Amino acid sequence: MRKNSKFQVPSFKLKLAALIFGLSGLLLGSCQSGSQKATPTIKSDESGIAKFVFSEEIHNFGSLNAGEVVSFTFIFRNEGTKTLNITGVDSGCGCTEVKIENKTVEPGQEGRIEVIYNSAGEVGRQLKTITLFSNAEPAQKQLYLKANVTNEIIELNS
């Protein structure tokens, strides 16, 4: 017979109790974690600045015949330390359409802005301005399209 046998707990019961206690802690912890926001994998310093850096800010389509529809994609990087948010666009006229792939760009990431130009009704040298509004510094950024449009109908009537 063992001494103090009534006070000894078999080891499997200790392991079972520890397992139950551990699982209880996990369950309670998981209930609280559901109410917290997930942290993004790329953390930016929101107190910093967002900064557009374009590989090209002026695009020249060259010579076009009136009615030609052409497009160009401006590529930029956010060289700041804060997430860049594009909040608006002014294309200047109905002849240009702007498509933005992603209006939120993390620091160090790349973004694309496609501009579609319809030269119908245009004649001569054209300079179109696209203005981007954002939280970057400066808050407004201009991109430019150039073209020389030949329009025989308008040229004959002038």
* pLDDT for the residue 62: 98
* pLDDT for the residue 152: 82
Domain ranges of the chain: 52-157
Q: Is 43 exposed, middle or buried (0-12, 13-18, 19+ CB in 10 A)?
A: exposed
* pLDDT for the residue 130: 97
* pLDDT for the residue 76: 97
Q: What topology does CATH give the domain 52-157?
A: Immunoglobulin-like (2.60.40)
* pLDDT for the residue 154: 66
* pLDDT for the residue 13: 55
Query: Between the CA atoms of 148, 133, 92 and 71, what dihedral angle is there, to the nearest 10 degrees?
Result: 40
pLDDT in tens, the chain (158 residues): 445 445 454 554 545 455 455 444 433 343 333 333 333 344 444 679 999 999 999 999 999 999 999 999 999 999 999 999 999 999 988 999 999 989 999 999 999 999 999 999 999 999 999 999 999 999 999 999 999 999 887 665 65
Query: Between the CA atoms of 85, 114, 74 and 91, what dihedral angle is there, to the nearest 10 degrees?
Result: -70
